[in-house]
Structure 1
Amino acid sequence: MGRPTAVFVDRDAIKSNFDIAKSFSPNSKFVSVIKANAYGHGLKEVAQTLSKCTDAFGVACIEEALLIREAGIKNPVLLMEGFFQSKKLKLPQKRTSG
Protein backbone atom coordinates (compact mmCIF):
# COMPACT_ATOMS: atom_id res chain seq x y z
CA MET A 1 0.00 0.00 0.00
CA GLY A 2 1.35 3.41 -0.99
CA ARG A 3 1.85 6.32 1.28
CA PRO A 4 -0.51 9.29 1.04
CA THR A 5 0.64 12.06 -1.24
CA ALA A 6 -0.53 15.62 -1.64
CA VAL A 7 0.16 18.52 -3.94
CA PHE A 8 -0.16 22.10 -2.79
CA VAL A 9 -0.51 24.60 -5.63
CA ASP A 10 0.47 28.17 -4.85
CA ARG A 11 -1.56 30.44 -7.15
CA ASP A 12 0.64 33.41 -6.29
CA ALA A 13 3.71 31.46 -7.42
CA ILE A 14 2.01 30.55 -10.71
CA LYS A 15 1.15 34.22 -11.32
CA SER A 16 4.68 35.27 -10.35
CA ASN A 17 6.19 32.74 -12.78
CA PHE A 18 3.94 34.09 -15.54
CA ASP A 19 5.01 37.66 -14.76
CA ILE A 20 8.69 36.67 -14.90
CA ALA A 21 8.22 34.99 -18.30
CA LYS A 22 6.27 38.00 -19.58
CA SER A 23 9.05 40.36 -18.45
CA PHE A 24 11.43 38.79 -20.98
CA SER A 25 9.13 39.77 -23.86
CA PRO A 26 6.70 42.41 -22.60
CA ASN A 27 5.33 43.32 -26.05
CA SER A 28 4.50 39.74 -27.00
CA LYS A 29 1.15 38.00 -26.82
CA PHE A 30 1.02 35.04 -24.46
CA VAL A 31 -0.91 31.78 -24.75
CA SER A 32 -0.88 29.89 -21.46
CA VAL A 33 -0.96 26.17 -22.22
CA ILE A 34 -3.05 24.47 -19.54
CA LYS A 35 -3.75 21.10 -21.13
CA ALA A 36 -3.84 17.90 -19.07
CA ASN A 37 -5.53 19.58 -16.11
CA ALA A 38 -2.90 22.35 -16.24
CA TYR A 39 -0.25 19.65 -15.95
CA GLY A 40 -1.83 18.41 -12.75
CA HIS A 41 -2.18 21.83 -11.13
CA GLY A 42 -5.95 22.17 -11.71
CA LEU A 43 -7.22 23.53 -15.02
CA LYS A 44 -9.97 25.73 -13.62
CA GLU A 45 -7.83 27.12 -10.80
CA VAL A 46 -4.88 27.94 -13.04
CA ALA A 47 -7.13 29.46 -15.71
CA GLN A 48 -8.77 31.68 -13.10
CA THR A 49 -5.36 32.70 -11.78
CA LEU A 50 -4.02 33.68 -15.21
CA SER A 51 -7.18 34.95 -16.90
CA LYS A 52 -6.43 38.62 -16.22
CA CYS A 53 -2.85 38.51 -17.50
CA THR A 54 -2.69 35.98 -20.34
CA ASP A 55 -3.91 36.71 -23.85
CA ALA A 56 -5.32 33.22 -24.45
CA PHE A 57 -5.29 29.64 -23.23
CA GLY A 58 -4.08 26.55 -25.08
CA VAL A 59 -5.79 23.23 -24.46
CA ALA A 60 -5.49 19.76 -25.95
CA CYS A 61 -9.15 18.82 -26.33
CA ILE A 62 -12.59 20.36 -26.59
CA GLU A 63 -13.56 19.10 -23.15
CA GLU A 64 -10.84 21.25 -21.59
CA ALA A 65 -12.02 24.28 -23.56
CA LEU A 66 -15.56 23.72 -22.34
CA LEU A 67 -14.37 23.51 -18.72
CA ILE A 68 -12.77 26.94 -19.14
CA ARG A 69 -16.03 28.38 -20.48
CA GLU A 70 -18.08 26.71 -17.73
CA ALA A 71 -15.83 28.46 -15.20
CA GLY A 72 -16.90 31.78 -16.73
CA ILE A 73 -13.52 32.58 -18.27
CA LYS A 74 -13.79 34.61 -21.49
CA ASN A 75 -10.19 34.55 -22.79
CA PRO A 76 -9.74 33.11 -26.29
CA VAL A 77 -9.00 29.37 -26.28
CA LEU A 78 -6.67 27.67 -28.76
CA LEU A 79 -7.66 24.05 -29.35
CA MET A 80 -4.32 22.41 -30.20
CA GLU A 81 -5.46 18.86 -30.87
CA GLY A 82 -8.51 19.35 -33.06
CA PHE A 83 -11.45 17.01 -33.44
CA PHE A 84 -11.37 13.26 -34.02
CA GLN A 85 -15.13 12.71 -34.00
CA SER A 86 -17.48 14.81 -36.12
CA LYS A 87 -20.12 14.87 -33.37
CA LYS A 88 -17.73 16.90 -31.19
CA LEU A 89 -17.75 19.73 -33.74
CA LYS A 90 -21.20 20.69 -32.46
CA LEU A 91 -20.21 20.83 -28.77
CA PRO A 92 -18.99 24.45 -28.76
CA GLN A 93 -22.14 25.59 -30.59
CA LYS A 94 -24.43 23.83 -28.13
CA ARG A 95 -22.66 25.42 -25.17
CA THR A 96 -22.70 28.96 -26.56
CA SER A 97 -26.16 29.04 -28.14
CA GLY A 98 -28.19 27.80 -25.30
Structure 2
Amino acid sequence: IGAVLGLIHVMENLADPSKLGGGIAVAFVATVYGVGAANLFFLPLANKIKFKLKEEAGSRNVIIMGLVGLAQGENPRLLQEKLESFLPHSERTKEAKK
Protein backbone atom coordinates (compact mmCIF):
# COMPACT_ATOMS: atom_id res chain seq x y z
CA ILE A 1 0.00 0.00 0.00
CA GLY A 2 2.86 2.34 0.83
CA ALA A 3 4.45 1.82 -2.57
CA VAL A 4 1.19 2.62 -4.33
CA LEU A 5 0.67 5.74 -2.23
CA GLY A 6 4.23 6.86 -2.94
CA LEU A 7 3.73 6.41 -6.67
CA ILE A 8 0.43 8.31 -6.52
CA HIS A 9 2.33 11.14 -4.83
CA VAL A 10 4.89 11.01 -7.66
CA MET A 11 2.15 11.16 -10.30
CA GLU A 12 0.55 14.16 -8.59
CA ASN A 13 3.84 16.04 -8.70
CA LEU A 14 5.02 15.26 -12.23
CA ALA A 15 4.95 18.98 -13.03
CA ASP A 16 7.43 19.76 -10.23
CA PRO A 17 10.52 17.54 -10.60
CA SER A 18 11.93 18.70 -7.25
CA LYS A 19 9.11 16.84 -5.44
CA LEU A 20 9.50 13.57 -7.34
CA GLY A 21 12.36 12.28 -5.21
CA GLY A 22 10.33 12.32 -2.01
CA GLY A 23 7.50 10.27 -3.51
CA ILE A 24 9.90 7.75 -5.03
CA ALA A 25 11.73 7.45 -1.71
CA VAL A 26 8.47 6.82 0.14
CA ALA A 27 7.54 4.13 -2.38
CA PHE A 28 10.89 2.34 -2.03
CA VAL A 29 11.00 2.57 1.76
CA ALA A 30 7.43 1.28 2.06
CA THR A 31 8.32 -1.65 -0.21
CA VAL A 32 11.38 -2.51 1.88
CA TYR A 33 9.35 -2.34 5.10
CA GLY A 34 6.65 -4.54 3.57
CA VAL A 35 9.12 -7.18 2.41
CA GLY A 36 10.91 -7.08 5.77
CA ALA A 37 7.70 -7.40 7.78
CA ALA A 38 6.50 -10.27 5.59
CA ASN A 39 9.74 -12.25 5.86
CA LEU A 40 10.52 -11.54 9.50
CA PHE A 41 7.06 -11.64 11.05
CA PHE A 42 4.09 -12.64 8.91
CA LEU A 43 5.49 -15.69 7.07
CA PRO A 44 6.89 -17.36 10.23
CA LEU A 45 3.60 -16.64 12.01
CA ALA A 46 1.63 -18.18 9.14
CA ASN A 47 3.84 -21.29 9.21
CA LYS A 48 3.26 -21.72 12.96
CA ILE A 49 -0.48 -21.40 12.48
CA LYS A 50 -0.44 -23.97 9.64
CA PHE A 51 1.53 -26.41 11.82
CA LYS A 52 -0.88 -26.05 14.73
CA LEU A 53 -3.90 -26.52 12.46
CA LYS A 54 -2.44 -29.70 10.95
CA GLU A 55 -1.69 -31.00 14.44
CA GLU A 56 -5.25 -30.31 15.61
CA ALA A 57 -6.73 -31.87 12.48
CA GLY A 58 -4.79 -35.07 13.15
CA SER A 59 -6.07 -35.19 16.73
CA ARG A 60 -9.64 -34.65 15.57
CA ASN A 61 -9.35 -37.45 13.02
CA VAL A 62 -8.20 -39.88 15.71
CA ILE A 63 -11.10 -38.82 17.95
CA ILE A 64 -13.56 -39.32 15.11
CA MET A 65 -12.11 -42.76 14.34
CA GLY A 66 -12.53 -43.71 17.99
CA LEU A 67 -16.11 -42.53 18.15
CA VAL A 68 -17.00 -44.30 14.91
CA GLY A 69 -15.37 -47.49 16.19
CA LEU A 70 -17.37 -47.33 19.41
CA ALA A 71 -20.58 -46.63 17.50
CA GLN A 72 -19.93 -49.65 15.26
CA GLY A 73 -19.39 -51.87 18.29
CA GLU A 74 -15.67 -52.57 17.82
CA ASN A 75 -13.85 -54.33 20.63
CA PRO A 76 -12.54 -51.56 22.94
CA ARG A 77 -9.12 -53.24 23.35
CA LEU A 78 -8.65 -53.56 19.58
CA LEU A 79 -9.86 -50.01 19.11
CA GLN A 80 -7.37 -48.81 21.72
CA GLU A 81 -4.50 -50.54 19.91
CA LYS A 82 -5.68 -49.15 16.59
CA LEU A 83 -5.83 -45.59 17.95
CA GLU A 84 -2.52 -45.89 19.82
CA SER A 85 -0.85 -46.62 16.49
CA PHE A 86 -1.34 -42.94 15.65
CA LEU A 87 0.66 -41.84 18.71
CA PRO A 88 4.42 -41.40 18.58
CA HIS A 89 6.26 -44.50 19.79
CA SER A 90 7.48 -42.78 22.96
CA GLU A 91 3.92 -41.90 23.95
CA ARG A 92 2.64 -45.39 23.11
CA THR A 93 4.98 -46.98 25.59
CA LYS A 94 3.93 -44.49 28.30
CA GLU A 95 0.26 -45.27 27.69
CA ALA A 96 0.89 -49.02 27.70
CA LYS A 97 2.59 -48.79 31.12
CA LYS A 98 -0.41 -47.04 32.68
Bigger share in helix: 2
TM-score normalised by length of structure 2: 0.28
Tell which structure's C-alpha radius of gyration is larger: 2
TM-score normalised by length of structure 1: 0.28
Bigger share in strand: 1
